Structure 1
Amino acid sequence: MGVFSALTTAVSGMQAQSYALENISGNIANSRTTGYKRVDTTFADLVPDSALNRQTAGSVAAFSQATNSIQGDLNATRIDTNVAINGDGFFVVDQRKSGVGANTLFANQNLYTRRGDFDFDANGYLVNGAGYYLKGQKIDPVTGQLIGTQPEVLRITKDQFPAKATTSIEYSANIPAYPKTNTADSTVPGSELLNPASFPTSNPLATPAGTGLVVGSEITSFLSQSIPGGSVTVYDSLGKATNVELRWAKTTNASAGPPATVDTWNLFVAENTGATGGAVAYRNANVNVTFDATGKMALPAGGTIPLPNMTIGGNAITGIQLTTDGGTALTQNGDVSGQIDARSIRQDGYTAGTLDRVSVSAEGQVIGTFSNGQVVAMAQIAVSRFNADNALKRLDGGAYEETIESGPPIVGLGTSQLVGGSVEQSNTDIADEFSKMIVTQQAYSANTKVISTAQEMLTAVFNIIR
C-alpha cells in the first residue's frame, strides 16, 4: 500500500477508460449499421483483502454490457424481402461453407441476428447485407402445412406455379319468381315456363322426363324460353381456359297446383352455341332445382349441382360442381327485371403462372404473388427468442451465437410481429455516445493526473536520499 499502489490503481483506471472509449468508438462507427446493438461499458471495483480499518478504494476493471434487448428504430425500405422484428426475437440464419448455386453447402449451425436487410441472390437464397442466409420452413402450397420440423436455409426459385383444374364454381344469385322470357305473357298462365311441346326433336327437360339436351335446330325456342344465368371461365389440368355459359329455365309453378307442388328450375350449360341440326347446343345439368314458398332452395340437398361432362371448344370439362353455400346463396324471390341477379360467380381453378413478387406477412410467412393471380404462402421464417438476450455471444456482421448463459432458443414470435419492407436501425444514440466520450476523456485525464502526482511524490522520496 502506498505510492506504488496508487500508480497501479491509476493505470487500471486508464485501461478501464480506454476500454470504454473503444466501445464508444465502435458504437459511433456502427451508428448507421442495420440491426447493430450498441455495447455499453460497466465498471467494477477491485478491492484488495485487508483489515477492516485498512481497506482501500482499490483499482477498477471494465466490462462490456450488451443491449440486445433494446430495439432500434424501424425504417421503411420499400424492398419487399427486407423485414424487421417489432418486439423480441432474432432471425435464424446460417453461413455458407462452400459451393455455389444449388450446390451451396452451409455450416448447418443456427446463428441469430436482428439484421433483416434480406434480399435474393442469383440462386434464390435470401441473404442479408452481412452475408448470412435466412432459415425457415417451406410450406406445402396445397395443404398449407409446414414441411419438416427443423428450419433450413430458404431457397425460393421462380419455377412455374402449376395450373389447377376447376372443380368448383361458387354461385350466388337470385332467380326471379317470374322469369321474363321472350315467350312470357302475364295474361297467359305458364307462358314463362319451358314448354316441352316446343321441342319436337329433343325434349330438354331433365331425365328421365326428357333427354336433357338442346339441339342446334331448336336453339331459338330454347333461348326464348330461358334466361341467362351468367358465365365463368374455367380451367383444365393443363391450365387451358374455357368459358362456361349458364342458362336457367323454369319448368313448373307451384301456384298452378297439382301435380306441381314447388317451383322447379333446370340449369343448362352451353356446349356449342353455334350448333346446327341434331348437334348438341346446350346440356341440362339433369337436376331439378326447387324452391319453397319463402324462396329458399329446397333441392338438391346441400345445394350442390354437378355440371354435365362435355367438350366446349375442344376442351374437356369434367368433374365441376356448382356450389351455393349449402343452398343459402341461391334464392328465388320476386324481381321486377325478371332476370337473374348473379351476385357472384367464382371458380377455384387457374392457369400456370410465374412468381412476380415476394413479401413477408406480420406472422413471418413468405408470400408469393404469381402472374396467374394466385397468392400463396411459400415459407415460414424461423424466429427464436431467448430468456437472456444480452448473454448471447457477438459475432461479426451483427450475428449472435447461443451460450449457456443465454439459455436455449425459444422457437416462435411470441407477442412480436414482423414488419415487411422495413429494417431495424442501430440502437446507438450519437448524442449519448458523445456525452459518454466526454466523461470518459475527463476520467482518463484524471487518472493521468494521479500518475503525475505519484511521480512527484516518488521524486521527493528520492531527493531525501540525496
Structure 2
Amino acid sequence: MGVFSALTTAVSGMQAQSYALENISGNIANSRTAGFKRVDTTFSDLVPDSALNRQIAGSVASYSRATNTIQGDLQATRIDTNVAINGDGFFVVDQRQSGLGANTQFTNSNLYTRRGDFDFDANGYLVNGAGYYLKGLKIDAVTGQLVGTQPEVLRITKEQFPAKATTSIEYRANIPAYPGTTNAKTTVPGSELLKATGYTSNPLSTTAGGTGLVTGADVTRFLSDSIAGGSVTVYDALGKATSVELRWAKTTNAAPAQVGPPAVPATTDTWNLFVAENTGATGAAVAYRNANIDITFGPTGQMTNPAGGNITLPSMTIAGTAISGINLTTGGNGLTQNGDVSGQIDARSIRQDGYTAGTLDRVSVSAEGQVIGTFSNGQVVAMAQLSVARFNAGNALKRLDGGAFEETIESGPPIIGLGTSQLIGGNVEQSNTDIADEFSKMIVTQQAYSANTKVISTAQEMLRDVFSIIR
C-alpha cells in the first residue's frame, strides 16, 4: 500500500501548495489596495496512527494565517478626511441597507476596517473606497461633551454655526503713570488729569459725583484730557459686529498720608474708563460713556479696585448695535500702571469671546480621533469622536469583502478607545503586502508543487513495473 499512500500524500501536497498559491495571488492582486492585510499560509502534517517503528511522514494540510495586526506603510493623500491608524486598532464602520440621503437605513452592525480613505458623499456621510460608513460619537458643540455611548454612523452637514454674543473682553495692558495727553504739561502739576471744570456735563464717574457722560459739545476737550486704550470688534446675539473704542482718563494722583491735626489719609492713582458711543455726536448727544467705576492703582502699579479686576462696560447702542452685559476682564494682574516714557497705553492683548454666524469650510481629523470643523467665522469646533476598536486577538477576526472584518468568538469583544495608538489625518494605510517577498514565496511554492508531481510520476512508474510482472 506504500505506493498508493505516496500518491495520496503527493496529491495532498499539491492541494496544499495550490492553496498557498491562491493566497499568494490574492496578496499580489491587492498589493495596492488601501488597508489590505495579506494572508499567509501555514502547513500542518497529517500522520496516521501506527506503531512506533512504522510511523511515516504523512500527508499535509494548509491553513490561512492572518496578518491583521501588521501595519502597512502610511501614504499622505492631502485629503483632510482621510485618516490612518498608527498602531493597534480598527475603524468602526457600518453598511448601508436601504434608503437615500437623510433617510438612509443602515444594518446597525459594527464592522471593523483599517481602510481609512474616508470622504464625504453627497449626504454628508463619511464613506471609504469600499463603501463602508464611518461610525463614532457626536460631540455637543456647546458643552464639548460626547453625546451617547454607542457608536453611530457620522453625518456632518454644512449647517450654519450660530452666532455668539460677546460677553467678555480680555484686556491686558499697562497704563502710564503719567498720561501723555494733549493738555499734559510737565511744568503744570495736574494738567494730565481729567477735571470737571470747563465741561458742560461732568464726565467723571457717578461714584465721584459726575454724570458719567461726555457730550458732543465736550468731545474735543475730552480727547485732549484722555488717551486711547485700544479698540475691539464685538458681536450681538445675531452676530452683528460693531467696534468698541476705549479711552482712559486719569482723575486723581496719589498723595501720601499726612499726620494731623487734621490727619489726611493717603490717596491712590485713580482712572476712569470711557467707551465711545458716537464719536460724531454734537451738542448734548452722548459721545462717550463712563464705565462708572473708579479704577485705582497702588504704589507698586497693581490694580487695587475693582477687586478681581473685572470692569462691566456700560450698556449702549453703537452704530445701531446694542451691547450690554460685557465684562472687561484683566485677570487681576493683567492691567497695571507703570512708568512709560511714551505716555500712551501699551495694550498687550484685547480679545473677545463673541463671533458672527459661520458655515463649515473644512473638516479634518486630529491625532486623538476628533473630527474638527473649521468655520468661516474662524471658529474651530470638535464635531465628533471617531470610534476605534482594539481586540485581544485581532488576527482572529473574520475577513469580509472590502477590507472589513467581523468579530468572532476567538477574537473576543472589541475594546473601544485609541489606547497607545494615534490617528494621522490626511494619510491612508497601504497594503502590508511585500511584492518581493510574495515572489519569493511563489517560487518556493512552484518548486514544491513540481516536486509533488514528480512523486506522482515516480509512483506511476513503480505501478507500471508491477503490472509488467504479470505480463
Q: TM-score range by the shorter chain?
A: over 0.9
Distance 1:380 1:98 in 2: 25
The Cα offsets for residues 325-373 of structure 1, whole Å up to 9 and x where unpaired, read as 2x21111000000000011100000001111111110000111111111
**Equivalent residue, structure 1, for 2:395:** 390
**Equivalent residue, structure 2, for 1:417:** 422
Mean CA deviation greater in 194-203 or 144-153: 194-203
Any conservation in 2 of the 1:369–1:376 contact (CA below 8 Å)?
A: yes
Deviation at 1:430, TM superposition (A): 0.3
Among 440, 451, 454, the residue aligned to 1:449: 454
Matched, 1:29 2:34: no
Q: What SS does the aligned partner of 1:147 have?
A: strand
**Equivalent residue, structure 2, for 1:98:** 98
Distance 2:266 2:218 in 1: 26
Matched, 1:298 2:312: no
Distance 2:207 2:356 in 1: 34
Distance 1:271 1:200 in 2: 18
The Cα offsets for residues 358-411 of structure 1, whole Å up to 9 and x where unpaired, read as 111000011111111111111101101011110000000000000011111011
Structure 1 unaligned blocks of 5 or more: none
User: Would you say how many aligned residue pairs link Structure 1 and Structure 2?
Assistant: 465
Mean CA deviation greater in 228-237 or 190-199: 190-199
Among 310, 313, 316, the residue aligned to 1:310: 316
Deviation at 1:204, TM superposition (A): 3.0
Q: What SS does the aligned partner of 2:250 have?
A: strand
Mean CA deviation greater in 379-388 or 200-209: 200-209
**Equivalent residue, structure 2, for 1:179:** 179
Structure 2 unaligned blocks of 5 or more: 258-263
- 1:113-128 equivalence runs, <5 A: 113-128=113-128
Q: What SS does the aligned partner of 1:160 have?
A: coil
**Equivalent residue, structure 2, for 1:170:** 170
**Equivalent residue, structure 2, for 1:205:** 205
Any conservation in 2 of the 1:10–1:451 contact (CA below 8 Å)?
A: yes
Q: What SS does the aligned partner of 2:19 have?
A: helix
Matched, 1:284 2:290: yes
The Cα offsets for residues 116-136 of structure 1, whole Å up to 9 and x where unpaired, read as 000000000000000000000
- 1:9-48 equivalence runs, <5 A: 9-48=9-48
Q: What SS does the aligned partner of 2:148 have?
A: coil
Any conservation in 2 of the 1:196–1:205 contact (CA below 8 Å)?
A: no
Q: TM-score, normalised by structure 1?
A: 0.98
Which portions of structure 1, spanning 4 or more consecutive aligned residues, are displaced by more than 3 angstroms?
A: 255-260
Any conservation in 2 of the 1:206–1:288 contact (CA below 8 Å)?
A: no
Distance 1:222 1:359 in 2: 51
Any conservation in 2 of the 1:93–1:112 contact (CA below 8 Å)?
A: yes
Q: What SS does the aligned partner of 1:223 have?
A: helix
Matched, 1:51 2:51: yes
Distance 2:98 2:56 in 1: 57
**Equivalent residue, structure 1, for 2:260:** none
Distance 1:40 1:201 in 2: 91
Q: What SS does the aligned partner of 2:448 have?
A: helix
Distance 2:180 2:206 in 1: 21
Distance 1:216 1:388 in 2: 79
Distance 2:198 2:48 in 1: 116
The Cα offsets for residues 137-193 of structure 1, whole Å up to 9 and x where unpaired, read as 111111111111111000000001110000000001000000011111111111111
Q: TM-score, normalised by structure 2?
A: 0.97
Q: What SS does the aligned partner of 1:192 have?
A: coil
Any conservation in 2 of the 1:206–1:266 contact (CA below 8 Å)?
A: no
The Cα offsets for residues 19-48 of structure 1, whole Å up to 9 and x where unpaired, read as 000000000000000000000000000010
Partner amino acid for 1:73?
A: D
How much identity, in percent, do the aligned residues show?
A: 82
Any conservation in 1 of the 2:231–2:243 contact (CA below 8 Å)?
A: yes
**Equivalent residue, structure 1, for 2:463:** 458
Any conservation in 1 of the 2:204–2:272 contact (CA below 8 Å)?
A: no
Q: What SS does the aligned partner of 2:214 have?
A: strand
Deviation at 1:202, TM superposition (A): 3.3
- 1:25-424 equivalence runs, <5 A: 25-207=25-207, 209-255=209-255, 258=264, 261-325=267-331, 327-424=332-429
Matched, 1:429 2:434: yes
Distance 1:137 1:237 in 2: 29
Any conservation in 2 of the 1:137–1:152 contact (CA below 8 Å)?
A: yes
